[in-house]
């Protein structure tokens, strides 16, 4: 009898542990997420299970799973995925105490929170000549850059940039920009790090990328290539408000189907907490969104970075379909 009871108790404890396990669907990479999950588990005693994938795949999966989804949190790389999840009714409303944590970019819907942002930038080799223009729109007009530019036409942040370009300057101007850039015969890369390494060795002079790739190659961090430390590459600043300096927000929401929404909100508060925000800034050089988070000297101060960026309505980023059509039309996708 005692054995049966203890077996029953064991099963019950197992089930309650399962009931208390937080399930996160993460479009963010394991190298970034894993250390934070371990800290969250250690601090709270709440076990976490993570399913990794691309934003678009996880979004599809959430749609298919519907109310039966085991997921409690969707943590995404891109605003587009968050807005699509919100529009599809996947997210639960968040408490006002959670929504007031980030300094900027909180959506009017109140159904997800921004966690960090990355900047789309133009990386250049030191001494590039001529000095790049003050707007990314002028870049295709510099004939001297023919054959000297690198880009990653299939990379998600590049697609987000083109979506913003369409949203801010219109379809026709976006098409013209893409065709103008193509006429410069850019080198296409599948990934950013090899492109920045090519920039460092002088195979190209300019590269359209995200700010942290430049810092990774120059200063080293989680994903860096140490051999390129101190490489002669830097970020060119377009004029404040130019779409060439574009803040791309990452964020997370609690799923409406979650039965552990209190735990899930606790996880979101942790992501906006001092420790996690410092980690984003120091370990992967993303911009924190919790006010007064110290940023390493290699990052622009937060206010300066926010001033540089063109503000783009989050809704704009949801329309990646039309961007992919345009990229196909001009032969880039
Ligand atoms: Fe990236």
Tell me the pLDDT tens digit for each residue of 249-275.
999 999 999 999 999 999 999 999 999
Ligand 1 centroid to residue 251 C-alpha, Å: 14
Beta strands 149-151 and 206-210: pairing type?
parallel
Ligand 1 centroid to residue 280 C-alpha, Å: 13
Ligand 1 centroid to residue 193 C-alpha, Å: 9
Average pLDDT over residues 223-238: 74
In this structure, the answer to whether residues 137 and 275 fall within a common structural domain is no
Ligand 1 centroid to residue 210 C-alpha, Å: 7
In this structure, the answer to whether residues 212 and 324 fall within a common structural domain is yes
Ligand 1 centroid to residue 221 C-alpha, Å: 13
Q: What is the pLDDT of residue 7?
A: 57
Beta strands 149-151 and 22-26: pairing type?
unpaired
Looking at the 3D structure of the chain, how many domains does it have?
A: 2
> Nearest to residue 90, comparing CAs of 75, 100, 103, 104?
75
157-197 confidence digits (pLDDT tens): 999 999 999 999 999 999 999 999 999 999 999 999 999 99
> Nearest to residue 122, comparing CAs of 223, 284, 233, 229?
233
Average pLDDT over residues 2-21: 59
Instruction: Report whether pLDDT(120) > 70.
Output: yes
CA geometry: angle at 326 spanning 323 and 331, to 5°?
Answer: 125
Ligand 1 centroid to residue 29 C-alpha, Å: 9
d(CA 254, CA 113): 9
Ligand 1 centroid to residue 86 C-alpha, Å: 23
Map residue 275 onto helix, strand or coil: helix
Place of tokens 């990229």: 327
Average pLDDT over residues 276-301: 91
CATH of the domain at 179: 3.40.190.10
Ligand 1 centroid to residue 19 C-alpha, Å: 33
Is residue 71 packed enough to be buried (19+ CB in 10 Å), middle (13-18) or exposed (0-12)? buried
Ligand 1 centroid to residue 333 C-alpha, Å: 18
> Percent of the chain beyond pLDDT 70?
91
Average pLDDT over residues 76-97: 96
Residue 296: which pLDDT band, with cuts at 50, 70 and 90? confident
For residue 328 the two structure tokens come to 């196909």
Q: What is the pLDDT of residue 14?
A: 54
Ligand 1 centroid to residue 76 C-alpha, Å: 12
1 or 169: which leads in pLDDT? 169
**25-57 in b/e burial notation, b at 16+ Cβ within 10 A?**
bbbbeeebbeebbeebeeeeeeebebeeeebbe
Ligand 1 centroid to residue 250 C-alpha, Å: 11
Residues 6+ apart with CB under 8 A from 197: 217, 225, 228, 231
Is residue 224 packed enough to be buried (19+ CB in 10 Å), middle (13-18) or exposed (0-12)? middle
Instruction: Report whether pLDDT(307) > 60.
Output: yes
Query: What is the biggest distance separating any 2 CA atoms in the chain, rounded to whole angstroms?
Result: 86
Ligand 1 centroid to residue 212 C-alpha, Å: 8
Residues 6+ apart with CB under 8 A from 119: 210, 211, 235, 245, 246, 247, 248, 287, 305, 308, 309
In this structure, the answer to whether residues 301 and 253 fall within a common structural domain is yes
In this structure, the answer to whether residues 83 and 151 fall within a common structural domain is no
In this structure, the answer to whether residues 177 and 298 fall within a common structural domain is no
In this structure, the answer to whether residues 271 and 129 fall within a common structural domain is no
74 or 285: which leads in pLDDT? 74
Average pLDDT over residues 99-118: 96
Q: What is the pLDDT of residue 222?
A: 46
Ligand 1 centroid to residue 31 C-alpha, Å: 12
In this structure, the answer to whether residues 169 and 258 fall within a common structural domain is no
Ligand 1 centroid to residue 216 C-alpha, Å: 11
If phi over 0 gives left and psi between -120 and 50 gives alpha, with beta otherwise, what is residue 329?
alpha
Stated pTM of the model: 0.89
In this structure, the answer to whether residues 230 and 143 fall within a common structural domain is yes
Across the chain, what does the average pLDDT equal? 92
Instruction: Report whether pLDDT(18) > 90.
Output: no
In this structure, the answer to whether residues 192 and 258 fall within a common structural domain is no
Ligand 1 centroid to residue 103 C-alpha, Å: 23
Q: What is the pLDDT of residue 174?
A: 98
Q: What is the pLDDT of residue 4?
A: 55
In this structure, the answer to whether residues 65 and 194 fall within a common structural domain is no
Q: What is the DSSP letter of 124?
A: E
In this structure, the answer to whether residues 295 and 161 fall within a common structural domain is no
In this structure, the answer to whether residues 75 and 136 fall within a common structural domain is no
Q: What is the DSSP letter of 111?
A: S
Return contacts of 301-308, CB within 8 angstroms, 24+ apart. Answer: 302/103, 305/117, 305/119, 305/247, 306/104, 306/247, 307/240, 308/119, 308/237, 308/238, 308/240, 308/241, 308/245
Expressed as residue numbers, the domain containing 183 is: 118-246+314-329
Place of tokens 């924190």: 288
């Amino acid at each position: 009898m005692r054995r049966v009871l203890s077996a029953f108790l064991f099963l019950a404890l197992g089930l309650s542990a399962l009931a208390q396990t937080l399930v996160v669907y993460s479009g963010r990479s394991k190298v970034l997420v894993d250390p934070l999950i371990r800290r969250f588990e250690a601090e709270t005693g709440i076990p976490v299970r993570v399913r990794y994938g691309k934003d678009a795949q996880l979004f599809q999966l959430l749609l298919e799973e519907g109310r039966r989804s085991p997921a409690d949190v969707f943590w995404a790389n891109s605003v587009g995925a968050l807005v699509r999840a919100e529009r599809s009714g996947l997210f639960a409303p968040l408490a006002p105490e959670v929504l007031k944590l980030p300094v900027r970019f909180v959506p009017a819907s109140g159904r997800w929170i921004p966690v960090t942002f990355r900047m789309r930038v133009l990386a250049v080799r030191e001494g590039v000549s001529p000095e790049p223009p003050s707007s990314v729109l002028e870049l295709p007009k510099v004939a001297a850059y023919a054959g000297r530019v690198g880009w990653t036409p299939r990379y998600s942040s590049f697609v987000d940039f083109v979506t913003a370009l369409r949203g801010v300057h219109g379809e026709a101007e976006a098409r013209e920009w893409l065709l103008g850039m193509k006429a410069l015969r850019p080198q296409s890369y599948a990934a950013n790090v090899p492109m920045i390494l090519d920039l460092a060795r002088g195979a190209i002079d300019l590269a359209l990328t995200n700010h942290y790739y430049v810092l990774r190659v120059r200063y080293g961090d989680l994903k860096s290539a140490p051999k390129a430390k101190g490489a002669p590459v830097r970020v060119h600043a377009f004029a404040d408000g130019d779409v060439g300096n574009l803040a791309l927000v990452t964020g997370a929401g609690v799923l409406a189907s979650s039965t552990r929404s209190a735990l899930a909100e606790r996880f979101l508060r942790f992501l906006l907490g001092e420790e996690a925000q410092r980690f984003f800034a120091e370990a992967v050089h993303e911009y924190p969104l919790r006010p007064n988070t110290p940023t390493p000297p290699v990052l622009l101060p937060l206010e300066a970075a926010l001033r540089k960026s063109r503000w783009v309505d989050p809704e704009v980023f949801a329309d990646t379909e039309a961007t992919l059509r345009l990229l196909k039309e001009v032969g880039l996708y």
